[in-house]
Structure 1
């Protein structure tokens, strides 16, 4: 059994990691840390885990984490992981980081939208953790920067089509909606029940930090600079993400070619499901799972391609994808611990 630790286990993504890893057939979850809940049993923080998870939250100790683990997940706010991860790697630990600190190949791009990076060489060597796209290099990685939830929902539909040259790199638009858990567990005015319920709003329009993350990956795939217009929205539900993408197909490209490209690219990949023609995804169909469902509508008259993706922002958009990355790093079946059966309703 591989010994695993989670730094920051009581945020929403951290708690999802606990839930998933406790059901993993090849993992022993040995250390969970929480600054706020140190000394508190995990099932007191999340009563749903009573009788299931018997671990107690601990203060983070580098010595204890390195002594008792082989692999570490860091589920922490940006900036903190860049201080911790280099020390873990120096002690021969493999790390999957759920913040933005190790997602960017271009450190200057990170610094333009976040803060100065204190581990730039390690950031440049880290692998972007989109398993269906970068699986070959993820398997060799010491550090994986787990993608953001919005970028996951945007990149999985677009990457195969850009790579195949079926759509133009100009004029890409992403209209995305997220459940409130995407804002994290720390209380804030914008995520209070009375502020969110019976309401629907766009936020951080033109300035969301996930935008440069998408731009970097899309530019690398396209071989030219790409900027996607990205507008995120907050939906009054706890979890789930639906993203509608608009792209211009190249001349003579047909809807059948688009659909076949997506099916071929994701053939044999367990977590990307391409909807049959005429069907579009729903967040309810992926809730609690590591699936990304993708549907297409091809407007031949207007030469417009509409792509729709649905993920659970806490699973495929965070913890589930992180576990999928761990599986690939360790040579496990990529679906190990992630075969949750979807709810039928």
Structure 2
């Protein structure tokens, strides 16, 4: 743990928050169309209708805000899932959220000929919520109720089913593959600010809820027996946490598609800085997640310029080495 005292943790959070703001500004300034800081400022104070000003307001600002919100949400969701499942490799995908959202999107394209990203966002949210609900119901079956191992197994099983169904639909309809391929790779390119504002109320509720539940997560990590002995209703707490994950990951997938590795890697970085106290892990995950996705998105603009790499590909490139390291290290989250 790098930050041992409360004062250092507060100072670190402030420092990384400034870094997040810098990444937000860099995301707005840098891209294929050459702009500067003064151009960005002028686009809001002296708007003249130029291409540069229009791009800043309608493309880059929404893209930066979406990347920051999605990165923060996926990281927090991953941290909660790693605590719930006691699995250091847990991420939103473990609940079948990505797979459920992807299946619903492909169904919408194949069956209903849907094409709008705005429509995709709501269909994806519905699919994510449906998949997570199935996992929660199946994982709760039995006399012991919802347990970490049952939640993990149910998530893997439901995710496999939805992934298989999605692949089957794409094999039968190659046109659908062309329609949804970019979305399935995970991207914040071309997303409008309205897509973020449509899910922002759910994200705010989930962000606040995760902070309020942080102390209860700490008790869960002590074990069910200890948690119950201290008066905590473990099944209710797990149910609320699963709902928070659905709101966080479902909203993120709805807006940006299934972006991987953020929810796996970032919680480990947060715990390396502040330990296992989730009252600090969650805010650090939010800041680190936003920084990672913003940095990945900025990099995605320049690798194959003028073409852009989906940010989901960039996070995979960045996250794979850490994923391998975590997998080889093994062990459970404390």
**TM-score (normalised: structure 2):** 0.27
* Greater strand content: 1
* Greater helix content: 2
Q: Report 1 or 2 for greater relative contact order, CA contacts < 8 Å, sequence distance ≥ 6.
A: 2
**TM-score (normalised: structure 1):** 0.26
